[in-house]
């Protein structure tokens, strides 16, 4: 039901159509700025192919998400919620794990995006060696997790916090206002930036020589970066790069987070995710190809590109632009990052909100204000990301985030066929072709392989020798020193997420879920509860038991239902499938 605007409710308002949601999801292409440098520092010249394969995989997976979203016309929160209803009849752990993994994957975009945005603003208004850019107060040393990781306060933290508060204020007025502002930002920033990326192609500045040799990064005996070979180490670096790229390229699935806010969910849902996917294909293929073709591998190893802070300068150099135009590019990039933060807060807060309403998560998260905005969930996002924003290594935060994202991906691609088998007669506004549903299932295992397939001892010969860094390439000055640090940092972070690195990361315990699916005997080698059927180590099992303790009292857990074919479609605010009539899951 549609609520009166003067009172708060637990229902969102059906205010948007698919075109407006495409604008909200338009922040996803900006995610390429977060990890383009990290992937280039990991694999080198083949980075553009990593992006291309990854976004095409994401597009193929989106069709499965579209089908299961159509089964839930009144549930906000996206695919994590839609997939949880498939898993609940089989496990009270896996269902809420879907929500937690999705939220832990999406919410760090706020911290990473606001941190990069703050860095952009500080770089164009203050000198690099100015006091405002150099002061810092270190609160904690987290070097036991990864080298040089600290919790600190500096100008980036406080400016980034202000950026997140601005995004919060935008979304406080509801999804319609969010869509309107996202449309303005898309037209004013993202579109001009995309045009700028096309200009070098028209000018003939994309050089074929910059795409060869098509080999992964390697080092010679003197420690210089040279062309590698496609041996085991090379392929493991490729897998590690695919692992990082997935966090960005699969993100347009957020377009189905607004089922309870679509005016016509059956029609709008499939259009929103498919058109968002097409936009992302163009962006994630074009931008890395142009950067690689114009700059070449050596310049892509520049520390500014690795951190993201030098992307605007690099774009200006493509057009031989002066300092004024360079600042304009940086400001446009800043607004593009604002779009990505809007996208992330809108999607992740709705996942928390629906989890709170259904009982998967704490009940207070289910609150919705008079404008239909999940403000309690938004505040939770904000507080968590203030902690993440204080961390000194954003690539580390990204890598932890992506571990959770691939767990979510595995669960919900398999939820597609579970829903198809368990609920064959339920009406589907959009039905995924069976071959694409099967392909999505296969890709779920491919993604699981990305998560655990790269091994630090095999992949990082420099680290294995105890050097702890990749040697610098043949470039001069600060760029040489920075590119050494960029490559070393990217590989150190990847090393954490091999099988031996997981115990060092608290959230890494979630990977045991995927270990189970890959083990021949069906039980993880890391599982210390063998014989009792548990798929999680005891500490992680206890953690998730505590997190979902209130889920046993969830609404409709014992009788989750889906709408039958002969029932009228949901209109207005409607109710979720957990409270609709139909065949129970249990």
Measured from the Cβ of residue 210, the count of other Cβ atoms closer than 10 Å reads 18
DSSP 498: S
- Return the bridge partners of 391, or none: 151
pLDDT range class, residue 249, cuts 50, 70, 90: very high
**Model pLDDT, residue 499:** 39
Between CA 578 and CA 562 the distance in angstroms is: 7
**Model pLDDT, residue 223:** 63
**Residue 246: pLDDT above 60?**
yes
**Model pLDDT, residue 458:** 31
Average of per-residue pLDDT across 187-191: 79
**Model pLDDT, residue 394:** 72
pLDDT tens profile 255-273? 888 888 888 888 888 899 9
**Any domain includes 156:** yes
Contacts of 532 (CB under 8 A, 6+ apart): none
CB contact at 8 A, 413 and 448? no
Structurally, the chain folds into a number of domains equal to 1
Residue count of the chain, please give it: 586
**Model pLDDT, residue 187:** 84
**Any domain includes 378:** yes
**Model pLDDT, residue 453:** 65
Between CA 143 and CA 496 the distance in angstroms is: 12
Between CA 320 and CA 343 the distance in angstroms is: 32
Contacts of 42 (CB under 8 A, 6+ apart): 217, 237, 240, 241, 244, 487, 490, 491, 494
**Model pLDDT, residue 247:** 84
Task: For residue 417, give both structure tokens.
Answer: 């066929």
**Any domain includes 457:** no
Residue 387 is part of which domain span?
18-451+463-579
pLDDT tens profile 311-341? 878 888 888 777 888 888 888 888 888 988 9
**Any domain includes 7:** no
**Model pLDDT, residue 91:** 82
**Residue 498: pLDDT above 70?**
no
Contacts of 521 (CB under 8 A, 6+ apart): none
% residues pLDDT > 90 (the chain): 19
pLDDT range class, residue 1, cuts 50, 70, 90: very low
Between CA 213 and CA 147 the distance in angstroms is: 32
Helices within 505-566 (DSSP H only): 512-518, 538-547
Q: How far is CA 449 from the centre of its chain?
A: 18
Average of per-residue pLDDT across 11-39: 84
pLDDT range class, residue 497, cuts 50, 70, 90: very low
312 versus 513: the higher-pLDDT residue is: 312
CB contact at 8 A, 101 and 407? yes
Task: For residue 571, give both structure tokens.
Answer: 């209109």
Closest to 578 in 3D by CA, of 550, 559, 551? 559
pLDDT tens profile 571-583? 333 333 433 323 3
**Any domain includes 306:** yes
Q: Which of 428-442, 475-489, 518-532, 570-584 has the highest mean pLDDT?
A: 428-442
Closest to 514 in 3D by CA, of 406, 413, 437? 406
**Residue 65: pLDDT above 80?**
yes
pLDDT tens profile 113-163? 898 888 888 888 888 788 888 888 988 888 787 777 888 898 999 999 999
Average of per-residue pLDDT across 474-495: 43
Measured from the Cβ of residue 51, the count of other Cβ atoms closer than 10 Å reads 27
**Any domain includes 9:** no
Ranking 18-32, 182-196, 353-367 by mean pLDDT, the lowest is 182-196
pLDDT range class, residue 64, cuts 50, 70, 90: very high
Q: Pick left, alpha or beta for residue 207 (phi over 0 → left; psi -120 to 50 → alpha; otherwise beta).
A: beta
**Any domain includes 245:** yes
Please report, for the domain that includes residue 496, its CATH number: 1.20.1740.10
Task: For residue 167, give both structure tokens.
Answer: 């995004």
Ranking 158-167, 179-188, 452-461, 561-570 by mean pLDDT, the lowest is 561-570
**Residue 493: pLDDT above 80?**
no
Task: For residue 169, give both structure tokens.
Answer: 């204020």
**Model pLDDT, residue 10:** 55
**Residue 480: pLDDT above 60?**
no
Express the helix, strand and coil content of the chain in percent, nearest 5 each: 65, 5, 30
**Residue 395: pLDDT above 50?**
yes
Average of per-residue pLDDT across 85-103: 87
């Amino acid at each position: 039901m549609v609520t009166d605007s003067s009172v708060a409710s637990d229902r969102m308002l059906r205010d948007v159509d698919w075109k407006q949601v495409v604008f909200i999801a338009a922040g996803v292409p900006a995610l390429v700025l977060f990890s383009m440098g990290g992937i280039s520092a990991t694999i080198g010249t083949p980075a553009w192919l990593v992006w291309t394969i990854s976004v095409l995989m994401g597009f193929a997976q989106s069709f499965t998400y579209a089908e299961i979203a159509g089964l839930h016309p009144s549930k906000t929160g996206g695919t994590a919620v839609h997939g949880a209803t498939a898993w609940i009849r089989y496990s009270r752990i896996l269902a809420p794990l879907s929500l937690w993994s999705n939220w832990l994957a999406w919410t760090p975009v706020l911290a990473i995006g606001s941190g990069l945005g703050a860095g952009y603003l500080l770089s164009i208004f203050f000198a690099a060696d100015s006091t405002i850019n150099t002061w810092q107060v270190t609160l904690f040393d987290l070097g036991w997790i990864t080298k040089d990781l600290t919790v600190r306060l500096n100008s980036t933290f406080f400016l980034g916090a202000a950026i997140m508060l601005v995004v919060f204020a935008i979304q406080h007025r509801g999804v319609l206002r969010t869509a309107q502002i996202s449309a303005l930002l898309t037209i004013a920033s993202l579109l001009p930036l995309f045009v700028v990326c096309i200009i070098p192609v028209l000018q003939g500045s994309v050089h074929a020589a910059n795409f060869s040799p098509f080999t992964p990064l390697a080092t010679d005996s003197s420690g210089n970066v040279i062309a590698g070979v496609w041996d085991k180490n090379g392929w493991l670096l490729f897998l590690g790069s695919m692992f990082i790229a997935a966090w960005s390229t699969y993100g347009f699935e957020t377009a189905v987070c607004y089922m309870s806010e679509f005016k016509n969910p059956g029609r709008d849902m499939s259009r929103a995710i498919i058109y968002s996917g097409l936009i992302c294909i163009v962006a994630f293929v074009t931008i890395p190809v142009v950067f690689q073709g114009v700059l070449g591998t050596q310049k892509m190893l520049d520390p500014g590109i690795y951190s993201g802070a030098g992307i605007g300068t690099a774009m200006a150099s493509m057009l031989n632009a002066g300092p004024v135009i360079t600042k304009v590019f940086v400001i446009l990039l800043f607004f593009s990052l604002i779009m990505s933060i809007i996208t992330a807060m809108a999607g992740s807060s709705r996942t928390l909100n629906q989890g709170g309403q259904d009982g998967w998560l704490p009940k207070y998260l289910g609150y919705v204000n008079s404008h239909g905005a999940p403000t309690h969930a938004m505040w939770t996002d904000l507080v968590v990301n203030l902690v993440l924003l204080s961390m000194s290594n954003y690539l580390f935060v990204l890598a932890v985030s992506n571990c959770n994202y691939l767990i979510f991906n595995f669960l919900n691609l398999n939820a597609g066929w579970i829903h198809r088998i368990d609920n064959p007669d339920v009406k589907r506004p959009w039905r995924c072709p069976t071959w694409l549903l099967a392909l999505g299932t296969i890709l779920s295992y491919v993604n699981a392989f990305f998560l655990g397939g790269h091994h630090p001892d095999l992949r990082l010969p420099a680290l294995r020798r105890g050097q702890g860094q990749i040697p610098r390439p043949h470039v001069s000055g600060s760029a040489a020193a920075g590119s050494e640090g960029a490559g070393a940092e990217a590989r150190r972070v990847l090393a954490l997420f091999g099988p031996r690195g997981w115990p060092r990361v608290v959230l890494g315990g979630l990977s045991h879920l995927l270990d189970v699916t890959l083990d021949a005997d069906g039980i993880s080698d890391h599982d210390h509860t063998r014989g009792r059927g548990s798929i999680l180590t005891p500490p992680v099992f206890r953690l998730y038991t505590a997190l979902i303790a209130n889920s046993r009292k969830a609404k409709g857990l014992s009788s989750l239902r889906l709408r039958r074919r002969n029932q009228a479609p949901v209109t207005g605010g409607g109710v979720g499938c957990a409270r609709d009539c139909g065949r129970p899951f249990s």
